[in-house]
Structure 1
Amino acid sequence: MKNILRTTLAISIVLCLISCNAMKNANKTQKGAGIGVASGAIAGGIIGGNLKGALIGAAIGGVSGAIIGNVMDKQARKIEEAIPGAEVERVGEGIHVVFDENSGVNFATNKSDLTSKSEENLDKVAKILIEFPDTNITIQGHTDNTGKNDYNLSLSRKRAESVAEYLSSNGVSFSRFRIEALGEDAPRYDNNTVEGRAQNRRVEMAISANQEMIEDAQAKQRN
């Protein structure tokens, strides 16, 4: 009996140490990303900036989830038609969008200001977001690996804020936005090439149901 207790205690200590080290090694961006998530926002999968995991973790499933999914299908199609170069993917009960140089919403090296082409495309996105008001929108900024990590972290936040502020100036309520900054920590392409660095200077967006949309879907399910 004593041996069993000792073994159980040892395993518990090892698991605790692994968990503590994982938290200790998480960078400042990853730790901060999980703080302040409002009720109804995408809560799962936030650590490490995994927007797809967050959308999957936020799914409520069942008939209500299917109702929400149908609305998201319509919204995703509209974004895809409005911005053909954007990467639009339905994930869980939400939408994951990647804006990079292919979509015309991109950034020059060390810049966070929007080009006229970027603004033109975001005008279209704003109209769609206004048409579907009952959603939360996470906007995540990224950079290539040029420059220091701290600088890139700040730059990526400015990029995400530029997009959120522009959409807000075109009628999308700023209260719907949640800003995340990942800097150079989550590249999608090879930073050793000019093309890869250009594509890594991007903004990603996750659109998920807010509390009003969830409650409306649940009411429809009951009826």
Structure 2
Amino acid sequence: MKRFNYVMVLLLSGALMFAGCSSSKWAAQNNKTKGGILGGTGGAAVGAGLGAIFAKNSGKGAIIGAAIGGAVGTGAGILVGKKMDQQQAELEKIEGAQVETVTDSNNLQAIKVTFDSGILFATGKSALSTASKDALVKFATSLKTTQETDVKIYGHTDNTGSREINEKISNERAESVAKYLIENGVAGSRLVTEGKAYDEPVASNETAEGRAQNRRVEIFITANETMIQQAEAGTLK
């Protein structure tokens, strides 16, 4: 998925409303991997709905979440924030997970979780380690306690090797995480994956330490339309 500005997000949101079933949306949103998770999980749909649309904001990280149209009320925002605070507190207990508060495209509180390659993967590999599986089981448990969220999984690499290789590895890393979450009870319809190769480094690729920081998986958790509707109605607990 390429970078979109806010206008493009709105245009694509309208287009997705006519895009057909979840599996076709998955294929359209992640054509690089050609439905890898669908094939690897017995037809579990990965990627669906407006909550799967993510864009980048120049300089301040990701603008994320469903482009629902219309402003979300202050009271609803407070309720969503409380719900996200609860989940963030759970996620912060997971060893090897860096958890941050971010803001989505509706100006609602969201969560960013970063797993580095030292936790998840050996260099140049996409197979999950035992330690990372333990962490992801806890992560899946937390996701299952709050069903009204969308989850976007980004795989990143350092710049070692060709673009083709790094695109493949970054996609496979994101997919490995998604598959394992599905195996542990997270609905595939909530998940979207994308490989970013080495396009979004967080450190210099000139040093071993910097390259290690760039080999990572980032996961964004945002309120889906159901949570927003419940918050607007005052029924979100």
Q: Same fold (TM over 0.5)?
A: yes
**Which amino acid is 1:73 matched to?**
D
1:100 matched to 2:85 = no
How far, CA to CA, are the matches of 1:215 and 1:183 in structure 2?
A: 36
**Which amino acid is 2:97 matched to?**
A
Whether the 8 Å contact between 1:138 and 1:205 is mirrored in structure 2 is yes
Among candidates 201, 216, 226, match of residue 202 of structure 1: 216
Among candidates 84, 87, 92, match of residue 98 of structure 2: 87
In the other structure, the counterpart of 1:76 is 88
Whether the 8 Å contact between 2:156 and 2:200 is mirrored in structure 1 is yes
| Gap change, CA 1:129 and 1:137, over 3 Å in 2 | same
| Gap change, CA 1:61 and 1:86, over 3 Å in 2 | farther
Q: Normalising by the residue count of structure 1, what TM-score does the alignment of the two structures yield?
A: 0.75
Number of residues paired by the alignment? 190
Q: CA offsets, 1:108-162, max 9 Å, x none? A: 2210110111101111111101111110000000011111012101110100000
In the other structure, the counterpart of 2:2 is 30
**Which amino acid is 1:88 matched to?**
V
Shift of 1:107: 1.7
Whether the 8 Å contact between 1:142 and 1:156 is mirrored in structure 2 is yes
In the other structure, the counterpart of 2:63 is 53
Whether the 8 Å contact between 1:41 and 1:136 is mirrored in structure 2 is yes
Counterparts of 1:113-128 in structure 2, within 5 Å, are: 113-128=127-142
Among candidates 170, 173, 176, match of residue 156 of structure 1: 170
**Which amino acid is 2:162 matched to?**
K
| Gap change, CA 1:44 and 1:31, over 3 Å in 2 | closer
Shift of 1:52: 2.8
Identity %: 40
How far, CA to CA, are the matches of 1:206 and 1:220 in structure 2?
A: 24
How far, CA to CA, are the matches of 2:160 and 2:72 in structure 1?
A: 40
Question: Is the partner of 1:96 in helix, strand or coil?
Answer: strand
Whether the 8 Å contact between 1:51 and 1:206 is mirrored in structure 2 is no
How far, CA to CA, are the matches of 2:54 and 2:124 in structure 1?
A: 31
Q: CA offsets, 1:4-25, max 9 Å, x none? A: xxxxxxxxxxxxxxxxxxxxxx
Whether the 8 Å contact between 1:139 and 1:160 is mirrored in structure 2 is yes
**Which amino acid is 2:139 matched to?**
V
Q: CA offsets, 1:27-66, max 9 Å, x none? A: xx52699764854416453489x86322597883521111
In our comparison, the structure showing a higher alpha carbon Rg is 1
**Which amino acid is 1:87 matched to?**
Q
**More helix, by proportion:** 1
How far, CA to CA, are the matches of 1:56 and 1:206 in structure 2?
A: 12
Shift of 1:195: 1.9
List structure 1 segments (4+ residues) > 3 angstroms apart after TM superposition.
31-40, 55-61
Question: Is the partner of 1:160 in helix, strand or coil?
Answer: helix
How far, CA to CA, are the matches of 1:60 and 1:157 in structure 2?
A: 33
**Which amino acid is 2:99 matched to?**
V
Question: Is the partner of 1:53 in helix, strand or coil?
Answer: strand
Question: Is the partner of 2:51 in helix, strand or coil?
Answer: coil
